[in-house]
Amino acid sequence: MAKESNISSIFIGYTAKLRRVISRIVRPEDIDDIVQDTFVRSYEAELKHDIKYARSYMLKTARNLALNHVAKSANKFNDSIEDFVEPPVELVTGAFEDEFASKERFLLFCRATDQLSGQVRKCFILKKVYGLSQKEIAQYLDLSESTVEKHVAKGLLKSVQYMAAFEQQTATSTNQGEIKAQSHVKEFMRK
């Protein structure tokens, strides 16, 4: 049984505060996404290193994500039409490896959502794939908004954990394969 992360337990009790702070910066329809992104970023950071002041870290992350969102929205319409005469290189050519990695990541996301329980999976997919608001999901599934929020957070947590465990397992088996290959090369070189 996996140990529940400190970020997860704090996030559940601290979500209302994060929403209030974010609501002062962005439009109401963007709040849910920024709160969820705050959790993902905080959880990923916790996996890499110990976070001493988790509430402060989450609050600062939420504020920065909200400010970045506003800045991106403000710059969205500042480009002139001349800038679009020639498409950017990324649209003209795509690296095969990047496309493959993207599809592989999507398949991993699909596997991660498959392991979620029924209501959690429905709420999570309606939110993250179809982009419905928590209010719309609550009406559609006949649940309270609070329940939807908890299901989406749980789905996010479980999916991130699943994907991280898979990537860690893949990295470990890749490293073992590299070590075996290196030993075969050394053995070959001795002959």
Flag whether 62 is in a domain.
yes
Same domain, 70 and 109: no
Identify the CATH number of the domain in which residue 139 sits.
1.10.10.10
In which domain, by residue range, is 61 found? 1-75
Task: Return the closest-CA partner of residue 38 out of 17, 16, 59.
Answer: 59
The residues, any chain, with a CB within 8 Å of residue 61's CB and separated by 6 or more, are: 38, 41, 42, 45
Residues 71 and 137 in one domain: no
CATH (domain of 41)? 1.10.1740.10
- In a domain, residue 90? The reply is no
Structural domains counted in the chain: 2
**Spatial separation of the C-alpha atoms in residues 64 and 36, rounded to whole Å:** 14
At 20-36, the pLDDT tens digits run: 989 998 988 888 889 88
Task: Look at residue 23 and tell me if it is in a domain.
Answer: yes
Q: Given this model, what pLDDT does residue 10 score? A: 82
Q: Is residue 94 part of a domain?
A: no
Shared domain for 68 and 119, answered yes or no, is no
pLDDT digits 0-9 by tens, 105-156: 778 888 888 889 889 999 988 888 888 889 999 999 999 999 999 999 999 8
The pLDDT-based confidence of 174 (bands split at 50, 70, 90) is low
Q: Which tops the pLDDT comparison, 183 or 56?
A: 56
Band of pLDDT at residue 46, cut at 50, 70 and 90? confident
- The C-alpha angle with vertex 99 and arms to 97 and 102, in degrees rounded to 5, equals 105
Span 4-11, average pLDDT? 74
Residues 2 and 58 in one domain: yes
* pLDDT tens for each residue of 12-22: 888 888 899 89
Residue 61 lies in a domain: yes
In this structure, is residue 174 part of a structural domain?
no
- Does any domain span residue 180? no
pLDDT of residue 98: 64
Say yes or no: 9 and 71 in one domain.
yes
